Amino acid sequence: MNKLECYDNDFFLERFENNFLCFFILQNSDYQSNYLIFESMDVLTLFEDFKDDAQDISPKIIVIKKYDDFIKIFEILKENNKLSFLFSENESDIVLDELKKLLEIKVDQTGKFLFRFYDNYIFDFTMKTIINNRKILNLGRYISEWYWNDLHGDIFYIVQLNLLNSLKSLFLSEDEFKKINDLVYPFHLIPKFKDYAEYAQFETNNKDDFDWYHEVMRRIDLAKKRNLYHKRDVDLYAILSFGLGDDIFNEGPMNEALDKVLVEGVFLEQSLNEINLSKLG
């Protein structure tokens, strides 16, 4: 894996001059928000073998043959921090079949899971995890290069390493799988944090560059330092500490509610519902 340090728009021009096809990988929500741009292009459905309702929400693969189209999409997705694309000398049906194989991820002693590689952040966390453990993702013989951006907008890429074999599903250890899930976990809370900030008119809500991911991660770490580990408790503590401040749990009825969770094993929500609100004044 390499970081793309210096480049301009013409950096990718050579691929098109050599008749490579480009495949942008988009989550369905990103596809729908830019539908008018993509509707005239060749669009593949990653979940085409799934049931009809799954196809409706399926990630999309946008096949690009012209450099001008590539630049237009590249700039839009780069601005939104949603870049994930690859190059191949092969036809689109071959590449689509290869990507379908990657949807399955195998975890040691646990089983098989859906690999959401079409989410560029999940793909980034996964690549950095397996490469840190001295592993590689074998792109096989049908995919030449794969590019994506991380949370900070930096672009990384991997290149073809095996000219003979087809792409295979990933195999992870349980520790690797847990680490990736821990890194992905904050994303489901970010919309709730934003909603809370908007409702309370927090100053952070007006900052486009506010780092929501690391703010949520910090709050999750605070919950774990309070010995909260159940998802329901961690989520609620993270949101309340963000809105009210972590000190609110240091004393008084909120602290009593927290102690009840640890001593009696009840959920934090139940414990908070039982506190005497008059004591909060």
> Domain ranges in the chain?
2-182, 189-280
- pLDDT at position 217 is 93
* Cβ 59 vs Cβ 114: under 8 Å: no
d(CA 248, CA 104): 44
* Cβ 107 vs Cβ 133: under 8 Å: no
Q: Which residues of 173-193 are buried (b: 16+ CB within 10 A; e: fewer)?
A: beebbebbeebeebeebeeeb
- Count helices and strands in the chain by DSSP H and E runs: 13, 10
- Alpha-helical runs (H) found in 80-227: 92-101, 120-132, 174-184, 190-200, 212-225
* Cβ 17 vs Cβ 51: under 8 Å: no
For residue 42, what are the β-bridge partners?
63
Tens digit of each residue's pLDDT, the chain (281 residues): 788 887 776 789 999 999 999 999 999 888 888 888 888 889 999 987 776 666 678 899 999 999 999 999 999 999 989 999 999 999 999 999 999 988 988 898 888 998 999 999 999 998 888 877 666 667 778 899 999 999 888 999 988 866 666 677 788 888 888 999 999 999 889 888 888 777 666 665 445 556 889 999 999 999 999 999 899 999 999 998 988 888 888 888 888 889 999 898 899 999 988 876 555 55
- pLDDT at position 69 is 93
- pLDDT at position 204 is 56
Query: How would you classify the pairing of strands 111-114 and 104-107?
Result: antiparallel
Torsion, Cα of 2, 123, 19, 79 (10° steps): -90
- One-letter amino acid identity for 171? F
How far, CA to CA in Å, does 147 sit from each of 58, 74, 119, 155?
Answer: 21, 11, 13, 7
For residue 112, what are the β-bridge partners?
106
* Cβ 160 vs Cβ 144: under 8 Å: yes
Residues 6+ apart with CB under 8 A from 80: 30
